[in-house]
Homo-oligomer: A and B are copies of this chain.
Amino acid sequence: MQLKLNMIKMFRLTLLSAATLRTSASTLRRNSFLKGAFRPLSTAPVSDHYEKRLTEQSMCQYLRHMEYAVRGKVVIKADEINAKLKESPKGTYPFDHIVYTNIGNPHSVGQKDLTWPRQVLALCDLPDEYGVDHPLAEEIFPVDAIARAKVIKKALNFHGTGAYTHSQGPLLFRQEICRFIEKRDGLQEGAVDPSDIYMTNGASSAIEMILNALIADTTSGVMIPIPQYPIYSATISRYGGQQVGYYLDEKKGWDLNVAELERSLANAKKHGIDVNSLVLINPGNPTGQVLQPSTVREIVKFCSENNLVLLADEVYQENVYAAGSEFYSCRQAAHDTGLDDADALELVSFHSTSKGLLGECGRRGGYMELLGFDPKIKAQLYKLASSHLCSNVPGQIMTSLMVNGPKEGDASYESYEEEKQEIYDSLKRRAKIVSEGFNKIEGFSCETAEGSMYCFPKIEMPLGAIDFARANGVTPDTLYALSLLENTGICVVPASGFGQEKGRYGFRTTFLPAEEEMVHVVEAVKNHYEKFCKQFE
Protein backbone atom coordinates (compact mmCIF):
# COMPACT_ATOMS: atom_id res chain seq x y z
CA MET A 1 0.00 0.00 0.00
CA GLN A 2 2.84 2.35 0.90
CA LEU A 3 4.42 1.63 -2.46
CA LYS A 4 1.19 2.40 -4.29
CA LEU A 5 0.93 5.73 -2.49
CA ASN A 6 4.51 6.55 -3.38
CA MET A 7 3.87 5.69 -6.98
CA ILE A 8 0.84 7.93 -7.06
CA LYS A 9 2.93 10.73 -5.59
CA MET A 10 5.61 10.17 -8.15
CA PHE A 11 3.25 10.44 -11.09
CA ARG A 12 1.31 13.34 -9.74
CA LEU A 13 4.19 15.56 -10.64
CA THR A 14 4.18 14.67 -14.29
CA LEU A 15 0.70 15.96 -14.93
CA LEU A 16 1.51 19.61 -15.35
CA SER A 17 2.39 19.39 -19.02
CA ALA A 18 1.84 22.16 -21.51
CA ALA A 19 -1.48 20.56 -22.43
CA THR A 20 -2.88 20.90 -18.95
CA LEU A 21 -3.01 24.66 -19.13
CA ARG A 22 -5.53 24.26 -21.88
CA THR A 23 -7.73 22.12 -19.63
CA SER A 24 -9.50 23.33 -16.53
CA ALA A 25 -8.16 22.47 -13.14
CA SER A 26 -11.28 20.58 -12.21
CA THR A 27 -11.04 18.28 -15.19
CA LEU A 28 -7.49 17.64 -14.21
CA ARG A 29 -8.55 16.88 -10.70
CA ARG A 30 -10.95 14.21 -11.95
CA ASN A 31 -8.86 12.51 -14.60
CA SER A 32 -5.14 12.95 -14.63
CA PHE A 33 -3.85 11.86 -11.28
CA LEU A 34 -3.66 8.18 -11.69
CA LYS A 35 -2.57 8.08 -15.30
CA GLY A 36 0.44 5.85 -15.45
CA ALA A 37 0.32 5.34 -11.73
CA PHE A 38 0.34 1.60 -12.09
CA ARG A 39 3.14 1.41 -14.60
CA PRO A 40 5.65 -0.89 -12.94
CA LEU A 41 8.77 0.79 -11.60
CA SER A 42 11.80 -0.26 -13.60
CA THR A 43 13.85 -2.37 -11.23
CA ALA A 44 16.17 -5.28 -11.87
CA PRO A 45 14.87 -8.77 -11.13
CA VAL A 46 15.16 -9.56 -7.44
CA SER A 47 16.51 -12.92 -6.35
CA ASP A 48 14.56 -15.03 -3.89
CA HIS A 49 16.65 -14.59 -0.82
CA TYR A 50 18.33 -11.23 -1.18
CA GLU A 51 16.85 -8.08 0.29
CA LYS A 52 18.62 -4.78 -0.24
CA ARG A 53 20.60 -3.87 2.83
CA LEU A 54 20.82 -0.15 2.19
CA THR A 55 17.31 1.25 1.82
CA GLU A 56 15.55 4.49 2.67
CA GLN A 57 14.41 2.76 5.86
CA SER A 58 17.81 1.47 6.93
CA MET A 59 19.95 4.42 5.85
CA CYS A 60 20.98 7.40 7.96
CA GLN A 61 17.68 9.18 8.57
CA TYR A 62 19.27 12.60 8.89
CA LEU A 63 20.58 12.27 5.37
CA ARG A 64 17.30 10.83 4.15
CA HIS A 65 15.33 13.83 5.34
CA MET A 66 17.82 16.38 4.15
CA GLU A 67 16.42 18.58 1.37
CA TYR A 68 18.34 20.49 -1.27
CA ALA A 69 16.08 22.51 -3.51
CA VAL A 70 18.58 24.16 -5.86
CA ARG A 71 18.99 20.87 -7.68
CA GLY A 72 15.71 19.32 -6.53
CA LYS A 73 12.43 18.21 -8.09
CA VAL A 74 11.98 21.07 -10.56
CA VAL A 75 15.54 20.87 -11.84
CA ILE A 76 15.40 17.10 -12.24
CA LYS A 77 12.26 17.63 -14.34
CA ALA A 78 14.02 20.36 -16.35
CA ASP A 79 16.90 17.98 -17.09
CA GLU A 80 14.43 15.37 -18.31
CA ILE A 81 12.77 17.87 -20.65
CA ASN A 82 16.18 19.06 -21.81
CA ALA A 83 17.14 15.50 -22.75
CA LYS A 84 13.86 15.10 -24.67
CA LEU A 85 14.40 18.40 -26.48
CA LYS A 86 17.81 17.23 -27.59
CA GLU A 87 16.26 14.10 -29.08
CA SER A 88 13.36 15.85 -30.82
CA PRO A 89 13.61 19.64 -30.62
CA LYS A 90 10.27 20.24 -32.32
CA GLY A 91 6.78 19.52 -31.25
CA THR A 92 6.81 18.16 -27.71
CA TYR A 93 7.06 21.49 -25.92
CA PRO A 94 6.14 25.07 -26.80
CA PHE A 95 9.81 26.11 -26.49
CA ASP A 96 13.10 24.88 -27.92
CA HIS A 97 15.44 25.10 -24.94
CA ILE A 98 15.47 25.28 -21.15
CA VAL A 99 16.45 28.60 -19.60
CA TYR A 100 18.26 27.55 -16.45
CA THR A 101 17.87 30.28 -13.89
CA ASN A 102 17.82 27.89 -10.96
CA ILE A 103 21.46 28.09 -10.07
CA GLY A 104 24.23 30.66 -9.87
CA ASN A 105 26.29 29.01 -12.61
CA PRO A 106 27.35 31.95 -14.82
CA HIS A 107 29.48 30.11 -17.40
CA SER A 108 26.65 27.70 -18.18
CA VAL A 109 24.51 30.59 -19.40
CA GLY A 110 27.03 32.42 -21.49
CA GLN A 111 29.31 34.38 -19.15
CA LYS A 112 32.83 34.18 -20.53
CA ASP A 113 35.80 33.10 -18.46
CA LEU A 114 38.32 35.83 -17.68
CA THR A 115 41.33 35.20 -19.91
CA TRP A 116 44.32 35.86 -17.68
CA PRO A 117 43.45 33.42 -14.84
CA ARG A 118 42.92 30.66 -17.40
CA GLN A 119 46.25 31.37 -19.01
CA VAL A 120 48.06 31.18 -15.68
CA LEU A 121 46.19 28.00 -14.81
CA ALA A 122 47.11 26.34 -18.11
CA LEU A 123 50.77 27.25 -17.61
CA CYS A 124 50.73 25.82 -14.09
CA ASP A 125 49.39 22.50 -15.42
CA LEU A 126 51.78 22.24 -18.36
CA PRO A 127 55.19 20.63 -17.76
CA ASP A 128 57.80 23.43 -17.93
CA GLU A 129 59.17 22.46 -21.32
CA TYR A 130 55.69 22.62 -22.85
CA GLY A 131 54.65 25.72 -20.96
CA VAL A 132 56.68 28.41 -19.19
CA ASP A 133 59.94 27.28 -20.83
CA HIS A 134 58.59 26.58 -24.32
CA PRO A 135 60.37 28.72 -26.95
CA LEU A 136 56.98 29.89 -28.27
CA ALA A 137 55.49 30.56 -24.83
CA GLU A 138 55.56 34.33 -25.19
CA GLU A 139 53.82 34.13 -28.55
CA ILE A 140 50.79 32.53 -26.98
CA PHE A 141 50.88 33.72 -23.37
CA PRO A 142 51.27 37.24 -21.96
CA VAL A 143 54.47 37.74 -19.98
CA ASP A 144 52.66 38.43 -16.72
CA ALA A 145 50.84 35.11 -16.99
CA ILE A 146 54.16 33.33 -17.48
CA ALA A 147 55.74 35.19 -14.57
CA ARG A 148 52.83 34.42 -12.27
CA ALA A 149 52.84 30.74 -13.22
CA LYS A 150 56.50 30.62 -12.18
CA VAL A 151 55.65 32.16 -8.81
CA ILE A 152 52.90 29.61 -8.30
CA LYS A 153 55.14 26.71 -9.29
CA LYS A 154 57.52 27.86 -6.59
CA ALA A 155 54.69 28.21 -4.07
CA LEU A 156 53.83 24.58 -4.82
CA ASN A 157 57.45 23.65 -3.96
CA PHE A 158 57.95 22.76 -7.63
CA HIS A 159 55.81 19.66 -7.06
CA GLY A 160 53.33 20.93 -9.63
CA THR A 161 49.55 20.78 -9.55
CA GLY A 162 49.55 16.98 -9.20
CA ALA A 163 50.75 16.76 -5.60
CA TYR A 164 48.72 17.04 -2.41
CA THR A 165 49.44 20.35 -0.73
CA HIS A 166 49.31 21.32 2.95
CA SER A 167 45.79 20.42 4.05
CA GLN A 168 44.91 24.11 4.55
CA GLY A 169 46.47 25.10 1.22
CA PRO A 170 50.02 26.24 0.34
CA LEU A 171 51.36 28.91 2.68
CA LEU A 172 51.95 31.47 -0.09
CA PHE A 173 48.34 31.28 -1.25
CA ARG A 174 47.11 31.70 2.31
CA GLN A 175 49.39 34.70 2.76
CA GLU A 176 47.92 36.25 -0.39
CA ILE A 177 44.43 35.72 1.04
CA CYS A 178 45.50 37.44 4.26
CA ARG A 179 46.83 40.47 2.36
CA PHE A 180 43.60 40.60 0.34
CA ILE A 181 41.45 40.64 3.46
CA GLU A 182 43.65 43.23 5.17
CA LYS A 183 43.49 45.52 2.15
CA ARG A 184 39.74 45.05 1.68
CA ASP A 185 38.97 45.77 5.32
CA GLY A 186 41.56 48.46 6.02
CA LEU A 187 43.46 46.34 8.53
CA GLN A 188 47.15 46.60 9.21
CA GLU A 189 49.46 44.19 7.46
CA GLY A 190 49.80 41.02 9.50
CA ALA A 191 46.39 41.38 11.15
CA VAL A 192 45.19 38.18 9.47
CA ASP A 193 47.17 35.03 10.18
CA PRO A 194 47.69 32.38 7.47
CA SER A 195 47.04 29.68 10.08
CA ASP A 196 43.45 30.99 10.23
CA ILE A 197 42.89 30.34 6.51
CA TYR A 198 41.61 26.98 5.25
CA MET A 199 41.40 26.57 1.48
CA THR A 200 38.50 24.32 0.51
CA ASN A 201 36.64 22.78 -2.45
CA GLY A 202 34.32 25.77 -2.87
CA ALA A 203 32.60 27.45 0.07
CA SER A 204 30.25 24.45 0.45
CA SER A 205 33.07 22.32 1.85
CA ALA A 206 34.04 24.97 4.37
CA ILE A 207 30.43 25.38 5.52
CA GLU A 208 30.21 21.64 6.01
CA MET A 209 33.38 21.48 8.06
CA ILE A 210 32.25 24.17 10.48
CA LEU A 211 28.74 22.78 10.84
CA ASN A 212 30.19 19.32 11.46
CA ALA A 213 32.17 20.75 14.37
CA LEU A 214 29.28 22.86 15.70
CA ILE A 215 26.57 20.22 15.73
CA ALA A 216 27.31 18.16 18.82
CA ASP A 217 23.89 16.55 19.13
CA THR A 218 20.21 17.01 18.30
CA THR A 219 19.88 19.95 20.67
CA SER A 220 22.54 21.99 18.84
CA GLY A 221 20.92 24.92 17.06
CA VAL A 222 22.12 27.16 14.25
CA MET A 223 20.34 30.42 13.49
CA ILE A 224 19.74 30.81 9.78
CA PRO A 225 17.96 33.55 7.86
CA ILE A 226 14.57 32.90 6.33
CA PRO A 227 14.87 32.81 3.40
CA GLN A 228 18.34 31.18 3.31
CA TYR A 229 20.59 29.36 0.90
CA PRO A 230 19.71 25.67 1.38
CA ILE A 231 23.25 24.38 1.91
CA TYR A 232 22.69 25.52 5.51
CA SER A 233 19.38 23.81 6.16
CA ALA A 234 20.61 20.73 4.27
CA THR A 235 23.86 20.40 6.19
CA ILE A 236 22.26 21.12 9.57
CA SER A 237 19.71 18.36 8.86
CA ARG A 238 22.42 16.02 7.70
CA TYR A 239 24.34 16.37 10.95
CA GLY A 240 21.18 16.10 13.01
CA GLY A 241 21.09 19.67 14.35
CA GLN A 242 18.27 22.20 14.68
CA GLN A 243 17.54 25.05 12.27
CA VAL A 244 16.58 28.17 14.16
CA GLY A 245 15.09 30.58 11.65
CA TYR A 246 15.13 34.35 11.86
CA TYR A 247 13.10 36.34 9.34
CA LEU A 248 14.47 38.92 6.96
CA ASP A 249 12.14 41.87 6.51
CA GLU A 250 10.89 41.76 2.91
CA LYS A 251 9.08 45.07 3.24
CA LYS A 252 12.38 46.75 4.09
CA GLY A 253 14.28 45.26 1.17
CA TRP A 254 15.08 42.05 3.10
CA ASP A 255 16.76 43.96 5.89
CA LEU A 256 17.81 42.34 9.12
CA ASN A 257 17.09 43.68 12.60
CA VAL A 258 18.36 42.71 15.98
CA ALA A 259 14.90 42.57 17.58
CA GLU A 260 14.06 39.68 15.28
CA LEU A 261 17.32 37.95 16.15
CA GLU A 262 16.49 38.31 19.83
CA ARG A 263 12.98 36.95 19.34
CA SER A 264 14.26 33.98 17.44
CA LEU A 265 17.02 33.18 19.92
CA ALA A 266 14.71 33.47 22.93
CA ASN A 267 12.13 31.29 21.27
CA ALA A 268 14.70 28.58 20.51
CA LYS A 269 16.03 28.64 24.06
CA LYS A 270 12.50 28.27 25.36
CA HIS A 271 12.26 25.07 23.34
CA GLY A 272 15.44 23.67 24.84
CA ILE A 273 17.65 24.28 21.84
CA ASP A 274 21.29 25.03 22.55
CA VAL A 275 21.87 27.73 19.94
CA ASN A 276 25.60 28.05 19.31
CA SER A 277 25.90 29.94 16.04
CA LEU A 278 24.34 32.32 13.55
CA VAL A 279 24.55 32.35 9.76
CA LEU A 280 24.59 35.71 8.00
CA ILE A 281 24.43 35.84 4.20
CA ASN A 282 25.57 39.21 2.87
CA PRO A 283 25.00 40.09 0.05
CA GLY A 284 21.90 37.99 0.38
CA ASN A 285 21.11 34.69 -1.28
CA PRO A 286 18.31 34.28 -2.39
CA THR A 287 17.29 37.80 -1.47
CA GLY A 288 19.94 40.05 -3.03
CA GLN A 289 20.06 42.63 -0.22
CA VAL A 290 23.31 44.35 0.76
CA LEU A 291 23.44 45.18 4.45
CA GLN A 292 24.40 48.58 5.78
CA PRO A 293 27.64 48.74 7.82
CA SER A 294 25.68 49.70 10.95
CA THR A 295 23.55 46.56 10.60
CA VAL A 296 26.60 44.34 10.18
CA ARG A 297 28.15 45.88 13.29
CA GLU A 298 24.97 45.22 15.25
CA ILE A 299 24.96 41.58 14.21
CA VAL A 300 28.60 41.18 15.18
CA LYS A 301 27.85 42.68 18.59
CA PHE A 302 24.78 40.48 18.98
CA CYS A 303 26.90 37.37 18.37
CA SER A 304 29.58 38.51 20.77
CA GLU A 305 27.06 39.31 23.51
CA ASN A 306 25.14 36.10 23.03
CA ASN A 307 28.22 33.93 22.66
CA LEU A 308 27.29 32.74 19.18
CA VAL A 309 29.80 31.70 16.54
CA LEU A 310 29.15 33.94 13.53
CA LEU A 311 29.17 32.21 10.14
CA ALA A 312 29.49 34.95 7.52
CA ASP A 313 28.63 33.85 4.02
CA GLU A 314 30.28 36.60 1.99
CA VAL A 315 30.72 34.84 -1.35
CA TYR A 316 28.88 37.63 -3.22
CA GLN A 317 31.15 40.38 -1.92
CA GLU A 318 32.06 41.50 -5.46
CA ASN A 319 28.42 41.42 -6.63
CA VAL A 320 27.09 44.75 -5.40
CA TYR A 321 25.17 46.86 -7.90
CA ALA A 322 22.89 49.34 -6.13
CA ALA A 323 23.95 52.97 -5.98
CA GLY A 324 25.16 53.81 -2.49
CA SER A 325 25.58 50.17 -1.49
CA GLU A 326 28.97 48.79 -0.66
CA PHE A 327 30.12 45.48 0.71
CA TYR A 328 31.13 45.71 4.36
CA SER A 329 32.58 42.53 5.83
CA CYS A 330 31.98 41.03 9.25
CA ARG A 331 35.74 41.08 9.71
CA GLN A 332 35.75 44.83 9.24
CA ALA A 333 32.78 45.17 11.57
CA ALA A 334 34.68 43.16 14.19
CA HIS A 335 37.61 45.51 13.75
CA ASP A 336 35.52 48.65 13.85
CA THR A 337 33.77 47.57 17.03
CA GLY A 338 37.05 46.49 18.64
CA LEU A 339 35.83 42.93 18.94
CA ASP A 340 38.78 41.57 16.98
CA ASP A 341 41.25 42.77 19.58
CA ALA A 342 39.28 41.83 22.65
CA ASP A 343 39.06 38.14 21.72
CA ALA A 344 35.33 38.45 22.17
CA LEU A 345 34.06 36.95 18.96
CA GLU A 346 34.29 33.71 17.02
CA LEU A 347 33.86 34.55 13.38
CA VAL A 348 34.25 32.45 10.27
CA SER A 349 33.87 33.99 6.83
CA PHE A 350 33.41 32.02 3.59
CA HIS A 351 34.55 33.04 0.14
CA SER A 352 34.56 31.30 -3.23
CA THR A 353 35.81 31.54 -6.81
CA SER A 354 32.35 30.54 -8.05
CA LYS A 355 30.68 33.94 -7.79
CA GLY A 356 31.98 37.51 -8.12
CA LEU A 357 33.08 38.25 -11.67
CA LEU A 358 35.14 35.10 -12.12
CA GLY A 359 32.13 32.80 -11.88
CA GLU A 360 34.53 29.83 -11.75
CA CYS A 361 32.05 27.33 -10.27
CA GLY A 362 33.52 24.22 -11.85
CA ARG A 363 36.82 24.99 -10.22
CA ARG A 364 35.50 24.35 -6.70
CA GLY A 365 37.82 26.92 -5.20
CA GLY A 366 37.21 28.74 -1.95
CA TYR A 367 38.38 29.34 1.58
CA MET A 368 37.28 30.12 5.08
CA GLU A 369 38.92 32.63 7.39
CA LEU A 370 38.71 32.18 11.15
CA LEU A 371 38.87 34.88 13.78
CA GLY A 372 38.98 34.28 17.51
CA PHE A 373 38.75 30.49 17.37
CA ASP A 374 40.19 28.30 20.13
CA PRO A 375 43.59 26.96 18.89
CA LYS A 376 42.42 23.45 19.72
CA ILE A 377 39.44 23.88 17.43
CA LYS A 378 41.79 25.09 14.72
CA ALA A 379 43.76 21.87 15.20
CA GLN A 380 40.52 19.88 14.99
CA LEU A 381 39.60 21.60 11.74
CA TYR A 382 43.08 20.91 10.42
CA LYS A 383 42.58 17.25 11.30
CA LEU A 384 39.27 17.20 9.45
CA ALA A 385 40.84 18.93 6.43
CA SER A 386 43.73 16.47 6.52
CA SER A 387 41.37 13.51 6.34
CA HIS A 388 40.44 14.86 2.88
CA LEU A 389 44.19 15.43 2.29
CA CYS A 390 43.75 18.81 0.58
CA SER A 391 41.38 20.75 -1.64
CA ASN A 392 41.93 20.56 -5.39
CA VAL A 393 45.01 22.47 -6.52
CA PRO A 394 43.56 24.23 -9.62
CA GLY A 395 40.82 25.55 -7.29
CA GLN A 396 43.52 26.80 -4.93
CA ILE A 397 45.35 28.50 -7.81
CA MET A 398 42.15 30.19 -8.98
CA THR A 399 41.62 31.46 -5.43
CA SER A 400 45.14 32.88 -5.41
CA LEU A 401 44.44 34.63 -8.73
CA MET A 402 41.11 35.93 -7.45
CA VAL A 403 42.65 37.61 -4.42
CA ASN A 404 45.76 38.79 -6.24
CA GLY A 405 45.08 39.81 -9.85
CA PRO A 406 47.20 41.73 -12.39
CA LYS A 407 48.54 45.06 -11.14
CA GLU A 408 48.60 48.35 -12.97
CA GLY A 409 51.40 48.21 -15.51
CA ASP A 410 51.20 44.42 -15.94
CA ALA A 411 50.70 43.20 -19.50
CA SER A 412 47.22 41.85 -18.81
CA TYR A 413 46.03 44.53 -16.42
CA GLU A 414 43.91 46.53 -18.82
CA SER A 415 42.29 43.65 -20.67
CA TYR A 416 41.58 41.92 -17.37
CA GLU A 417 39.93 45.00 -15.88
CA GLU A 418 37.94 45.54 -19.09
CA GLU A 419 36.65 41.98 -19.11
CA LYS A 420 35.63 42.31 -15.47
CA GLN A 421 33.97 45.66 -16.02
CA GLU A 422 31.94 44.32 -18.91
CA ILE A 423 30.60 41.44 -16.82
CA TYR A 424 29.89 43.72 -13.90
CA ASP A 425 28.04 46.31 -15.99
CA SER A 426 25.92 43.67 -17.63
CA LEU A 427 25.05 42.02 -14.31
CA LYS A 428 24.06 45.41 -12.99
CA ARG A 429 21.75 46.02 -15.95
CA ARG A 430 20.25 42.56 -15.65
CA ALA A 431 19.62 42.97 -11.92
CA LYS A 432 17.53 46.01 -12.86
CA ILE A 433 15.76 44.45 -15.84
CA VAL A 434 14.68 41.46 -13.80
CA SER A 435 13.71 43.02 -10.48
CA GLU A 436 11.92 45.96 -12.08
CA GLY A 437 10.33 43.74 -14.70
CA PHE A 438 8.96 41.32 -12.10
CA ASN A 439 7.82 44.13 -9.87
CA LYS A 440 5.64 45.46 -12.70
CA ILE A 441 3.77 42.20 -13.17
CA GLU A 442 0.30 42.42 -11.69
CA GLY A 443 0.29 40.03 -8.72
CA PHE A 444 4.08 40.04 -8.31
CA SER A 445 6.23 42.10 -6.01
CA CYS A 446 9.99 42.01 -6.20
CA GLU A 447 12.53 43.82 -4.07
CA THR A 448 15.46 45.41 -5.89
CA ALA A 449 18.47 43.11 -6.19
CA GLU A 450 21.14 45.31 -4.64
CA GLY A 451 23.68 42.55 -4.95
CA SER A 452 24.39 38.83 -5.49
CA MET A 453 22.90 37.10 -8.57
CA TYR A 454 19.28 36.56 -7.57
CA CYS A 455 15.78 37.94 -7.39
CA PHE A 456 13.26 36.46 -4.99
CA PRO A 457 9.84 37.72 -6.14
CA LYS A 458 6.67 37.15 -4.17
CA ILE A 459 3.61 36.14 -6.13
CA GLU A 460 -0.05 36.09 -5.31
CA MET A 461 -1.07 32.48 -5.52
CA PRO A 462 -4.57 31.77 -6.86
CA LEU A 463 -6.59 29.95 -4.20
CA GLY A 464 -7.33 27.19 -6.69
CA ALA A 465 -3.62 26.55 -7.08
CA ILE A 466 -3.14 26.35 -3.32
CA ASP A 467 -5.92 23.78 -2.99
CA PHE A 468 -4.72 21.86 -6.00
CA ALA A 469 -1.13 21.77 -4.76
CA ARG A 470 -2.17 20.66 -1.28
CA ALA A 471 -4.35 17.91 -2.65
CA ASN A 472 -1.32 16.71 -4.60
CA GLY A 473 1.24 16.88 -1.85
CA VAL A 474 3.42 19.63 -3.28
CA THR A 475 3.89 23.21 -2.15
CA PRO A 476 1.94 25.77 -4.16
CA ASP A 477 5.13 27.35 -5.44
CA THR A 478 6.43 23.98 -6.60
CA LEU A 479 3.19 23.60 -8.55
CA TYR A 480 3.77 27.06 -10.00
CA ALA A 481 7.45 26.41 -10.85
CA LEU A 482 6.64 23.11 -12.56
CA SER A 483 3.90 24.79 -14.56
CA LEU A 484 6.25 27.62 -15.54
CA LEU A 485 8.86 25.08 -16.60
CA GLU A 486 6.57 22.91 -18.67
CA ASN A 487 4.96 25.87 -20.42
CA THR A 488 7.88 28.22 -20.99
CA GLY A 489 11.08 26.21 -20.45
CA ILE A 490 12.13 28.58 -17.64
CA CYS A 491 13.60 26.73 -14.69
CA VAL A 492 13.33 28.55 -11.34
CA VAL A 493 13.49 27.25 -7.77
CA PRO A 494 10.29 27.35 -5.66
CA ALA A 495 10.68 29.81 -2.79
CA SER A 496 9.67 27.10 -0.33
CA GLY A 497 13.12 25.55 -0.91
CA PHE A 498 14.68 28.58 0.78
CA GLY A 499 12.08 29.15 3.48
CA GLN A 500 9.60 32.01 3.69
CA GLU A 501 6.82 33.35 5.90
CA LYS A 502 3.68 31.26 6.09
CA GLY A 503 1.28 32.24 3.29
CA ARG A 504 4.00 33.75 1.12
CA TYR A 505 4.67 32.17 -2.28
CA GLY A 506 7.30 32.86 -4.89
CA PHE A 507 10.53 31.66 -6.43
CA ARG A 508 14.21 32.40 -6.80
CA THR A 509 15.65 33.23 -10.18
CA THR A 510 19.17 34.18 -11.13
CA PHE A 511 19.65 37.04 -13.57
CA LEU A 512 22.61 35.34 -15.21
CA PRO A 513 21.43 34.48 -18.74
CA ALA A 514 22.16 37.09 -21.42
CA GLU A 515 20.32 40.43 -21.25
CA GLU A 516 18.08 39.76 -24.25
CA GLU A 517 17.20 36.38 -22.76
CA MET A 518 16.31 37.97 -19.43
CA VAL A 519 13.99 40.43 -21.18
CA HIS A 520 12.27 37.44 -22.74
CA VAL A 521 12.15 35.66 -19.37
CA VAL A 522 10.30 38.55 -17.73
CA GLU A 523 7.81 38.67 -20.59
CA ALA A 524 7.28 34.91 -20.58
CA VAL A 525 6.81 34.81 -16.81
CA LYS A 526 4.19 37.54 -17.13
CA ASN A 527 2.24 35.76 -19.87
CA HIS A 528 2.40 32.42 -18.12
CA TYR A 529 1.25 33.91 -14.82
CA GLU A 530 -1.88 35.32 -16.44
CA LYS A 531 -2.77 31.92 -17.84
CA PHE A 532 -1.84 30.19 -14.58
CA CYS A 533 -4.19 32.49 -12.67
CA LYS A 534 -6.96 31.84 -15.15
CA GLN A 535 -6.44 28.10 -14.86
CA PHE A 536 -6.65 28.12 -11.08
CA GLU A 537 -9.00 31.05 -10.45
Residues of A participating in the B interface, judged by any CB pair closer than 8 Å: 41-47, 49-56, 58-61, 63-64, 66, 68, 70-72, 79, 103, 105-108, 112-113, 115, 118-119, 121-123, 125-127, 130-131, 134, 136, 139-141, 157, 159-167, 201-202, 204-205, 212-216, 230-231, 234-235, 238-239, 276-277, 304, 307-309, 342-346, 354, 358-364, 372-377, 380, 383-384, 386-395
A231 → B minimal CB distance (Å):
6
In the complex, what's the smallest C-beta–C-beta distance from A277 to chain B, in angstroms? 8
Question: How many copies altogether?
Answer: 2
Q: Please, how many angstroms separate the alpha-carbon atoms of A388 and B205 in the complex?
A: 7
Instruction: Determine whether the beta carbon of B361 is less than 8 Å from that of A53.
Output: no
Asked if A204 meets B276 with Cβ closer than 8 Å, knowing A216-B61, A377-B56, the reply is: no
Taking CB atoms, residues of chain B closer than 8 Å to A376 are 55-56
Shortest distance from the beta carbon of A359 to any chain B beta carbon, whole Å? 6
Contacts of A123 in B (CB 8 A): 122
A134 B125 Cβ-Cβ under 8 A: no
Candidates B63, B201, B304, B364; contact of A384 at CB < 8 Å: B63
Q: Which 7 A-B pairs have the closest CB atoms?
A: A362-B393, A71-B386, A122-B122, A107-B163, A364-B392, A108-B163, A107-B162
Identity of the chain B residue whose Cβ is nearest the Cβ of A126 in the assembled complex: B122
A119 B130 Cβ-Cβ under 8 A? yes
Decide if B387 touches A231 in the complex (CB within 8 Å): yes
Contacts of A390 in B (CB 8 A): 362, 364
Let me know if B125 and A64 touch, CB within 8 A.
Answer: no
Knowing A60-B212, A392-B362 are in contact, say whether A134-B126 is a contact too (CB < 8 A). Answer: no
| Cβ contact within 8 Å between A59 and B214 | yes
**Is there contact, CB below 8 Å, between A308 and B374?**
no
Distance in angstroms between the alpha carbons of A157 and B100 in the assembled complex: 14
A346 to B386, CA, bound (A): 29
**Closest beta carbon of chain B to A160's beta carbon, Å:** 5
- Assess A375 versus B50: contact at CB under 8 Å? Given A105-B163, A108-B164: no
Is there an interface contact between B342 and A380, defined as CB atoms closer than 8 Å?
no
Contact indicator A68/B139 (Cβ below 8 Å): no
Residues of B within 8 Å of A54, CB to CB, are: 213-214, 276-277, 309, 346, 373-374, 377
A106: chain B residues at CB < 8 Å are 162-163
Q: In the complex, A81 Cα to B402 Cα: how many Å?
A: 32
**A162:B374 contact, CB within 8 angstroms:** no
Partner of A53, one of B56, B60, B346, B360: B346
Tell me whether B125 and A121 are in contact (CB under 8 A).
yes
- 30 cross-chain CB contacts under 8 A: A41-B375, A44-B372, A45-B342, A49-B344, A50-B307, A53-B307, A59-B213, A60-B214, A61-B216, A63-B380, A68-B387, A71-B386, A71-B387, A72-B383, A72-B386, A103-B164, A108-B157, A113-B160, A113-B162, A119-B130, A122-B125, A122-B126, A125-B394, A136-B139, A159-B362, A160-B362, A163-B362, A204-B388, A364-B389, A392-B395
CA distance A60 to B220 in the complex (A): 10
Docked-complex contact A387 and B59, CB < 8 angstroms: no
Q: Is the CB of A380 within 8 A of B59?
A: yes
Q: Name A142's closest neighbour in chain B (CB-CB).
A: B130
Alpha-carbon distance A514/B284, docked complex (angstroms): 52
| Partner among B60, B125, B391 whose Cβ is within 8 Å of the Cβ of A216 | B60
Contacts A63-B213, A136-B136; A391 near B364 (Cβ below 8 A): yes
Contact A234 B162 (CB under 8 A): no
Contact of A377 among B59, B72, B276, B386 (CB under 8 A): B59
* CB-defined contacts of A44 to chain B, threshold 8 Å: 343, 372
- In Å, the complex CA distance between A291 and B447 comes to 63
How far apart sit A389 and B201, CA to CA, in the bound complex (Å)?
11
Given contacts A68-B386, A213-B60, contact A50 B304 (CB under 8 A): yes
Q: Write the chain B residue with the least CB distance to A41.
A: B375
